[in-house]
Amino acid sequence: NRLWDSPRRSVAPTIAALKSLMAEVSGVTELSLFCDFHGHSRKENAFIYGCHCDGDPERAHLPRVFPHLLAAQCAPFSYDDCSFKMQESKRSSARMVGRQQLGIFNSFTLEASFAGTTIVGAPYHFTQTDFRRLGADFVAALHAYTFLPPIEQAGTIAAIAEHERLRAESGRAGDGDSSEDGSDEDPADGDLEAAELEAIWRGLAAARVARRRRR
């Protein structure tokens, strides 16, 4: 999950291929949105980690438009749990590489709790049906975002700005929970370097070849 900065085809062939394709497409046209899907072991609900706009106050709320639309579409999705901070420890994650290297303005990680939701009636654990519904709601919100008229986008941005103002006045954090601990995007103390992973892959490949020969 954190090999997007300089992916090796020998270690992460799918990431290397996808990043290469995204870079090629970005050179021809704008990629309006990219989203990586993850599970979260500590926080409840579904929510998004995005990327803020450096030094551009006029566009500061634009990356929040899609999450805002998704929250309106999807009951267990919590806008207030979203965060748009860009931590140095995440610089090789898909969303930050998408934003910083590929210039994708809406570059997200969608997190869905391994547990469940606390904002839809009584707390309950997510089921496979809930996760499938989340996927369907994501597509519906993406459709709404794609065809959102400029005047409605302006109204949505104004609503987001007012929401953030009220949150700040109430003393609540204005950018969700800044901690991303618990995401399976997170680094772990036991993570291996790319060279070590490559050596492991080569060893596994050699073992597979040896097993085939014994057959």
Catalytic residues: 111
Integer Cα distance of 43 and 76 in angstroms: 12
Classify 127 as helix, strand or coil.
coil
Classify 34 as helix, strand or coil.
strand
Per the rule left: phi > 0, alpha: psi between -120 and 50, beta: everything else, 45 is left
- Are the CB atoms for 94 and 109 separated by under 8 Å? yes
Can you name the residues that pair with 197 across neighbouring β-strands? none
Write the CA distances from 47 to 70, 78, 88, 183, integer angstroms. 9, 5, 20, 11
